[in-house]
Each structure stands twice: as C-alpha cells, then as structure tokens.
Structure 1
C-alpha cells in the first residue's frame, strides 16, 4: 500500500523546488523578516507597517515593506500558504521582471495609497496594517475576473452567484472568522485586483521591449536559476489571443494571460 505521507511530502518538495525566482525571493523575505521581528532591540513592525498618520515623503518605503512584515508566526504562515500558489501562477504567466516591477510598484502602491487616503481623509482614523493578505486578495481578484470570462456564475442551492464576487465573499468570511484583520485593506487589494483583471492598469506595466532588452543584455535567463523570461508565456504577456478576423490582427484582453503555462 502506498505511503500517503511520503507521497504528499514528495509532492510538496517537488512543488517548492519548481517555484519561480521572484516567488522564492518573496517567500524568503517574509520568513527572514519574521525572524528579524522576533528580537526586541528594534521594533521592525513599527518601522515597516503601513501607518496612515506617519506617511510622508521620507516614509514612503512603508508602501513596499508592509506586505512583507507580519504580526506573528501564524500570521506569516497563513499568508505564505495563501500567497505562494497565487504569486507563482502570476510570475509564471507574466515573467519575473514584470512581477518584480508590478509588485514593488503599482500593485502595491495603488492599494496602499487608497488605504491611506480612506483612513486619513474619509474615516479620519489611523489603523496600521501589515502582512501579505492584501496581495492575496489582489491576486484572488485577478483570478476571479479571469474565471468570470469563461464561467460567469456558480450555483449555491438555487441562487446564481457571479464568479467575480468570490473575493468579496472571502473578505467578509475572513473578517468574521479571523480577528484583527484589516477589512478595508483587503477591500483595497480586491479593488486593485479588479482593475488589473479588467485591463485598466495595463498602461502602467513595463514595456515588453525594454524587458527583453534587459534580459538579453544581462543574460538573466542563463544566469539566474528559476528565472521566468517575458517570452515564456502563451500568446504574450497581456493575453494577446489569435484573432478570428480575416485581417490577421489580434485582440487585447487586458492584463489577463492564458491559462496554459509554458514556464517553470
């Protein structure tokens, strides 16, 4: 009889070894920063959290550090388990350079800025947030919009529920079951994910021509293990699908890639 435990361990090990480069680096950064936060000589969480009242030109780094810092071991573990497969799928479709540029750029700063504005200007409160859950809900929203294009509804009893609402339902469930979660922060992530999935953020993505030049100039594919090239995807980075018209053109579907992956 097969050893189920051994089989599961082998599958998990194989999956970890196949993770692309940017995903590996983000997992490593979260683990290292969690370990760094154990010491009491320096308050890492206060330094790196997104605190609305402390945001200014000199503390703008918080918009990139807060997703990597967590409250405790279980906070970090839950976010890692949720984030890793979603980020791995994103990187495998859009490439390592694109993932790094987007997640240390607009896909983090847009929800962060939205959260700070809502907290300071509208709600007039100052609730610090940290953790990768904003990334998780952002990526879930991207997946939900992708699924909605092919499967608009799922049935619960006799009710047809739109597929795109799944991340919103998960935000509500998370807020109800897990204490101290940021409902507003998760909503900011969901909103940004919807914009990304609908293609409204394609203008802020780095130009593919420049990415190819950087990859070729530095020979990143040959030098970096587990690196995903911008060309290791089906039908291009922005989901350019074959056209059915006689003109031989192509249709842009926005920032929604193919479901077939040719990368690692």
Structure 2
C-alpha cells in the first residue's frame, strides 16, 4: 500500500525526534496523565503570579509543561515539535536545554511583573510561549535570507512578521487565550535571534565541558538521538552579514552572524493558548 507524501512527511517529522524534544514531549504527556488523576499537579506547576511571589519560583520553569486539557496539550505538542526539533538539530541538545530555560523564565518573570503592576492574578500555562519564541527565531532567520513573502499576488509582508500575524489571529479566534503570555514569548524569541539575550546561549566552553562529561560515561551514545554541538554545527545557516538584510544585528546574533555549516529553515506550526 502506497503512503501519501503528507503521511510520510509527518512520520519523518514526528517519528525520530532529537533527545530533548522527545523528553519535553514525554514530560508534557506524563504530566497531563497525572493531572487526570489529580488536578493539584496542574495547580502546583502552572504560572500563578501570586504563588510565585510567595515562594513558588519553580513555576517559572514548569508552567510550559502543564496544560489545561487534552486538546490544549495535543495542539501544543503538534505545534512545538517541528520548531523545537529543528532548533535542537542546529543548536545541539545541551545548548537547547539552556535556551528553553531562558525562554521559560524570562517571559514568566515579565508576566509576573505585569500581573503585579496591574493587580492581576491570571494563571497561565502551556508550551505556546516556547512555540512563539521559536517561531520568532526562525522567522528572523528566514528574513535574513528572504525579506518578504507573498500572501497573494498583490500583498506581501516582511518574513519576520509572520509570527505576529499568528499571534493576532489566535487572539482573534481564541479571545480566551493568554495574549500577553504569547506576546512575551514572541518578544523573547526576537530578542534572542537578534542577539540581545546572549545569556540564553550557553558559552561554548560550558557546552563542551558538559558534553565531555557525558561522553566519559558513554551517555552521548546511550541517550537516543543526542545532538552534539559538533553535529549541530553542520545544520547551522551561514549568513553573509556584509549584505544588508534589513534586520538590526550585531556580531553576537545567533541568527545573523556566520556560525559555520549548512543550515535549513524550520518555520512551521502555530501556537495554542498559553493560559486560561
């Protein structure tokens, strides 16, 4: 029986995920199953601004991993896998862990501060913030190569703006979604891509040290589909920064600065509501 190209593409994308992508999806699935047994799982891990201010700092890290219901986790996984797996393949497994940490903490802190400023305590949860951060990153990368895309024969938009359109579309179609959570994730992704959050990119020496330690115990081979920094460098895009792509950049920009290797673009998927 012949398989359609679409089914084969889905199998190729979701069937052999890199290590951290697999771990993240597995944790999200497990936590959803646990939440069916006890709703306290979600309550303890979701981003509750008031709880964070009273010692629940862990929520700044855990809120992307818990979800409201089956459809929430399903669509978040469907949207996250393409962008996160592509990001891990070109960034490396160890460095991706650091990026996900900051892609969670920075928007979470801003969300809590905003809630404090406006005397609000709306709980938010879900991986859509990660989705928007990664969408922004890849949109910037695509923009450095192709500045515009055509919506039809007469309308064109800057490539970097495609995640913004997704944000507005979701806000329009799903007014109960966490617009601010999505927006903060989007802004962090743009800031990272332009090199304004260098702390989110782990130093090469640290990545090398961690990988060397794992290699000593043969864990880099034991961990399924572990992406080393050396392997990831083969997937990174080479951008000639002497050509003006219209995007402000500096020498530290992970999107626009030349990093070696041959890359590929992966701007796929759209987010689900980050919160309720």
1:196·1:202 contact (CA, 8 Å) conserved in 2?
yes
Match of 2:223 in 1: 224
2:95–2:202 contact (8 Å) kept in structure 1: yes
Does 2:104 correspond to 1:108? yes
CA-based RMSD:
2.5
Query: Unmatched 5+ residue regions in structure 1?
Result: 245-250
8 Å contact from structure 2 (residues 143, 159) kept in 1: yes
8 Å contact from structure 1 (residues 235, 241) kept in 2: no
SS in structure 1 of the partner of residue 55 of structure 2: helix
Q: Is the 8 A contact 1:51 1:128 kept in 2?
A: yes
Match of 1:248 in 2: none
Task: Report if the CA contact (8 A) 2:136-2:189 is conserved.
Answer: yes
**TM-score, normalised with respect to structure 1:** 0.85
Q: Distance in 2 between matches of 1:243 and 1:164?
A: 17
Cα deviation digits, residues 8-60 of structure 1 (max 9, x gap): 655544443421000000000010000000014x5112111111122136301
Q: Is the 8 A contact 2:47 2:123 kept in 1?
A: yes
What secondary structure sits across from 1:161 in the alignment? Answer: strand
CA distance in 2, matches of 1:108, 1:88: 17
Distance 1:12 1:241 in 2: 29
Aligned-pair CA distance for 1:213? 2.1
Residue 123 of structure 2 is aligned to residue 128 of structure 1: yes
Q: Structure 2, unaligned stretches of length 5 or more? A: 243-249, 265-276
The corresponding residue for 2:263 is 260
Matches for 1:58-69 after TM superposition, within 5 Å: 58-69=55-66
1:214-260 residue CA offsets vs partner (Å, 9 max, x unmatched):
212321422322100011133697x676898xxxxxx9461226662
Q: What whole-Å deviation, never above 9, does each CA across 1:98-129 have from its counterpart, x for those lacking one?
A: 1112212x1211111111111211x2211110
How far did residue 202 of structure 1 move?
2.1
Q: Which has the higher contact order (CA 8 A, sep 6+)?
A: 2
Query: Is structure 2 residue 24 aligned with structure 1 residue 31?
Result: no
1:165 is the counterpart of 2:156: no
| SS state at 1:87 partner | helix
TM value normalised by structure 2: 0.81
Q: How many residues align?
A: 249
Aligned partners of 1:156 and 1:64: how far apart in 2?
37
